[in-house]
Amino acid sequence: MRDDIRLTAGVAAALWAGAAALAVHERRIAPRADLEPPARPGPLVSVIVPARDEARGIGAAVRSLRALDYDHVEVIVVDDQSTDGTGAAAREAAGGDRRVSVVTGDPLPEGWVGKPWACWQGVTRARGEWLLFTDGDVVHSPDSLGRTLAMARRLGRGGLTLLPTIDCLGVVERAVMPAALTAIATFVAPGPLARSARSRVAIAAGGYILIPRELYDRVGGHSAIRGRMVDDVCLAAAVKRTGSLLVPVPAGRLARLRMYHGGREVWDGWSKNASFAAAGGAAKGLTSAATVAALAVLPVAAAVSGVRSRDAGLAAVGAGGVGALMTLQRLANWAVPTPARYAPTLPVGLLVLSGAAARGAVERMRGIGPRWRGRRYPLAR
C-alpha cells in the first residue's frame, strides 16, 4: 500500500517539477511587449469595452484609454444593461472626449451570452482596421497600444492577446489567483503549445485581445461564438483554425486589473470559468477538477505521512512535490504579484479552484448553468 502511495505521490511530484521547469522556461522566452518600439502613427484602432455592472472600475479604465499615446484610436463602451450606474460613470470619465462613445446595449437575445453580445454590438459601431477588446476593469499604460500593435504587426501571425497583470488583495485572492494561473499554464494551455502553429491549443485573455478587423470578420467574430461562456478562448481557437494566431504575451506593466474582489467573486468567477475550461462537457470538467485536487493533495499528504511513519523515501518524494508547488507559486508572481509569505498556499488555492470548477460542472449537469452579473446561462457551452 505504501509503495502505491509512494508511486502516485512520485508521479504528482514529477508533474509539478516539470511544471516548474516549464514556468522557468516561459519566463525566459515569452515575448516582451513592453520592450517593443511603439507604432506611431498607424491604422485606426477601435477599442471595444463590454461593461456590465462595472461602475467601480470603469472610470479608471476609460481614463487610461483616453491617456493612450497612440493617436489614431476610438473607444466604444457598451453598457450591457448595467444596474449600478456603469454608463453614467463611463460618461463622466469620458469627459466629453470625442474619441469616446458610451452606448447602452440592447437586451440580451436568446442564445447569446452577455459578453459576446456586448462585444458584437461594439463591433457594429467600430470603424477601425484593428479591434481591441478589453474589459471595464483593465487599466492601460499610455504606451500599451502603440507597443502591442507594433508587436502584432511585426510578428505577422494575426493578432495578439496580452495577459494582464492581476492585482490581488486579501487571503483568498492571493491564494487562488496564482493557482488559477498555474493550472492554466500547466494543464490548459502551456505556452509552447499555445504559440505553436502545429498545436490546436489556444488561449486568450478577454481583458486584452488585439485583432485585425479582417481576421475577426473571417472567423465570424463573436456571432460565431454567441453561446460560449469562455468566449476569449473560443475566439482564439477559431483564429488558430485559420492558421493565424492570437499570440499570448505577458502584459507586465502595460495592462493590469483586479479580476475578482473577495472570496465570493473568486468562487463565482472560477465556477463559471473553470467548469468550461475542459473540452468535452460538464462530466469531463468534473473529472478534471478531481484530478487537479488529487495532484495538489498528494505531495503534501506524502510528506506528512512520510514524516509520521519515518519513511524517508516517502517524505523525500512528498517534500520534492511540495517544493515544486512553492516554486510555482513564486514563479506566478510575474503575472499575479503576491507577498512571499503566500508561497506555501498553492495547494490550498488549487483545492479551492477545483471545488469551484466542480460546482460549475454540477450546475451544468443539472441544466441550470452558471450565474454571473445577475444573469443565469443554462444553455451556455
Could you give phi then psi for residue 278, rounded to 5 degrees? -90, 125
d(CA 98, CA 242): 36
pLDDT over threshold 60, residue 1: no
User: Secondary structure of 293-348 in the HEC alphabet?
Assistant: HHHHHHHHHHHHHHHHHCCHHHHHHHHHHHHHHHHHHHHHHHCCCCCHHHHHHHHH
At residue 159, the pLDDT reads 97
Look at 54-58, 137-141, 273-277, 367-371 and tell me which has the smallest mean pLDDT: 273-277
Q: What is the pLDDT of residues 272-312, one digit of tens each?
A: 888 787 666 788 888 889 999 999 999 998 888 888 888 88
Q: How is the chain split into domains, by residue range? A: 2-26+267-374, 31-170+188-262
Q: What secondary structure letter does DSSP report for 37?
A: P
Look at 370 and 128; give whichever has higher pLDDT: 128
Could you give phi then psi for residue 140, rounded to 5 degrees? -105, 140
Peptide bond into 178 cis (omega under 30): no
Please give the helix or strand (H or E) that residue 28 lies within, else none: helix 2-29
At residue 279, the pLDDT reads 66
Q: What secondary structure letter does DSSP report for 16?
A: H
- Where does the pLDDT of residue 35 fall: very low under 50, low under 70, confident under 90, or very high at 90 and above? very high
The pLDDT of 234-242, averaged and rounded, is 96
- The three-class DSSP label of residue 45 is strand
Q: Is 250 left (phi over 0), alpha (psi -120 to 50) or beta?
A: beta
At residue 8, the pLDDT reads 86
Please give the helix or strand (H or E) that residue 234 lies within, else none: helix 231-241
Q: Taking a C-beta distance cutoff of 8 angstroms, is the pair 328, 263 a contact?
A: no
Q: Taking a C-beta distance cutoff of 8 angstroms, is the pair 150, 38 a contact?
A: yes
Maximum CA extent, the chain:
72
d(CA 283, CA 47): 37
CATH of domain 31-170+188-262: 3.90.550.10
Q: What is the pLDDT of residues 328-343, one digit of tens each?
A: 999 999 899 999 999 9
At residue 374, the pLDDT reads 82
Q: Of 128-132, 309-313, 317-321, where does the model show the most confidence?
A: 128-132
Handedness of CA 379, 242, 273, 252 (dihedral sign): negative
13-18 own/partner pairs: CB under 8 Å, 24+ apart: 13/298, 13/299, 13/302, 13/317, 13/318, 13/320, 13/321, 13/324, 15/186, 15/295, 16/295, 16/299, 16/321, 16/324, 16/325, 16/328, 17/320, 17/321, 17/324
Handedness of CA 103, 104, 110, 112 (dihedral sign): positive
> In sequence order, what DSSP letters do the residues of 168-215 get, joined into one string?
--SHHHHHHHHHHHHHIIIII--HHHHH-TT-------TTEEEEEHHH
Residues 6+ apart with CB under 8 A from 96: none
Cell of 363: 450546475
> In sequence order, what DSSP letters do the residues of 75-108 get, joined into one string?
EEEEE-S-SSSHHHHHHHHHTT-TTEEEEEPPPP
Residues 6+ apart with CB under 8 A from 108: 80, 81, 114, 117, 375
Q: Taking a C-beta distance cutoff of 8 angstroms, is the pair 56, 142 a contact?
A: no
Q: What is the pLDDT of residues 3-28, one digit of tens each?
A: 667 788 888 999 999 999 999 999 89
Which among 53, 104, 57 is positioned nearest to 76, based on CA atoms? 104
